[in-house]
């Protein structure tokens, strides 16, 4: 928290997703809340989901992330996603669901039990203010820590666009494993498909990450060059 304060960030954790939806309308007017966290489609009154936002010194929202607990005890995450991958579409896009597909990788086939889904990860602010500063590493680790405090899940997973994952965001934010080519979304417009990676962590991985010392984030090479 001292590190976040040094960056002028104040973090809030909430459970009312109508409130989160309202925050998005102001902070990210071009972004539609993802289907997995849309309060018009899901009831989270049982504490199965929460959101985290960070505001800057002017009170503007400059970071979001959301987490949701899935109970897939008795089956694998691969089985669950094979049946329900359409519950995790990219936001604000018409899709051809007949062409879109999920490919079950070996990681998803090995996961079962209480599994946390991590989504809506976004960092805003002025160019170079937060993005490229290395603070994304600690923000994501904070989300992992909060998931452990709430649910102590057996595993965690997230879907990440190939274009983002291959630039190193998965490694920077702590995702230690991945199933490549997990989801392929075909836009209804006929544009090229959107490819995603399934990034994941086991409970031991999360505990390992949370045991690492937190240092002042270093500027990423691209940010230093800029």
Q: Averaged over 119-147, what is the pLDDT?
A: 82
pLDDT at 30: 84
The pTM score is 0.91
Query: Is the CA virtual torsion 71, 74, 76, 81 positive or negative?
Result: negative
pLDDT, one tens digit per residue, over 173-199 is 999 999 999 999 999 999 999 999 999
pLDDT, one tens digit per residue, over 11-46 is 999 999 999 999 999 999 888 999 999 999 999 999
pLDDT at 225: 39
Alpha helices in the chain (DSSP H): 2-6, 17-27, 77-84, 106-110, 135-150, 162-165, 169-172, 203-211, 221-225
Stated as kind and residue range, the H or E segment containing 123 is: strand 114-123
Q: Averaged over 132-159, what is the pLDDT?
A: 91
* φ, ψ of residue 163 in degrees (nearest 5): -60, -30
Closest CA to 160 of 132, 140, 145: 140
Could you give the CA distance from residue 82 to residue 101 in angstroms, rounded to a whole number?
A: 9
Q: Averaged over 144-171, what is the pLDDT?
A: 94
pLDDT at 223: 43
Q: How far is CA 39 from CA 29, 34, 58, 73, 114, in A?
A: 17, 10, 28, 24, 21
3-class secondary-structure state, position 30: coil
pLDDT at 5: 86
Query: Is the CA virtual torsion 135, 56, 19, 89 positive or negative?
Result: negative
Calculate the average pLDDT of the chain.
90
Contact predicate 107/101, CB 8 Å: no
pLDDT at 215: 61
pLDDT, one tens digit per residue, over 42-82 is 999 999 999 999 999 999 999 999 999 999 999 999 999 99
Contact predicate 39/21, CB 8 Å: yes
Find tokens 């604000």 and name the residue: 92
Q: Averaged over 96-101, what is the pLDDT?
A: 94
Residue 7 has pLDDT above 70, yes or no: yes
Q: Averaged over 111-118, what is the pLDDT?
A: 98
Could you give the CA distance from residue 156 to residue 150 in angstroms, rounded to a whole number?
A: 13
Contact predicate 175/189, CB 8 Å: no
Residue 221 has pLDDT above 50, yes or no: no
Instruction: Copy the structure tokens of residue 152.
Output: 């102590």
């Amino acid at each position: 928290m001292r590190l976040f304060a040094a960056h002028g960030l104040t973090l809030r954790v909430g459970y009312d997703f109508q409130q989160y939806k309202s925050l998005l309308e102001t902070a990210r007017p071009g972004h539609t809340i993802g289907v997995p966290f849309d309060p018009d489609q899901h009831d989270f009154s049982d504490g199965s989901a929460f959101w985290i936002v960070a505001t800057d010194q002017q009170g503007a929202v400059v970071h979001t992330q959301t987490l949701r607990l899935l109970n897939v005890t008795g089956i694998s995450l691969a089985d669950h996603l094979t049946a329900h991958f359409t519950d995790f579409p990219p936001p604000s896009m018409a899709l051809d669901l007949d062409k879109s597909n999920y490919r079950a990788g070996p990681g998803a086939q090995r996961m079962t039990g209480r599994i946390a889904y991590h989504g809506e990860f976004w960092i805003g602010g002025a160019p170079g203010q937060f993005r490229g500063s290395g603070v994304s590493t600690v923000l994501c680790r904070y989300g992992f820590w909060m998931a452990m405090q709430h649910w102590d899940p057996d595993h965690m997973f997230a879907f990440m666009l190939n274009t983002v994952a291959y630039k190193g965001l998965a490694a920077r934010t702590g995702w230690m494993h991945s199933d490549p080519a997990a989801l392929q979304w075909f836009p209804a417009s006929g544009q090229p498909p959107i490819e995603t990676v399934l990034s994941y962590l086991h409970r031991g991985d999360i505990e390992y990450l949370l045991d690492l010392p937190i240092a002042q984030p270093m500027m990423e090479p691209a940010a230093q060059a800029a």
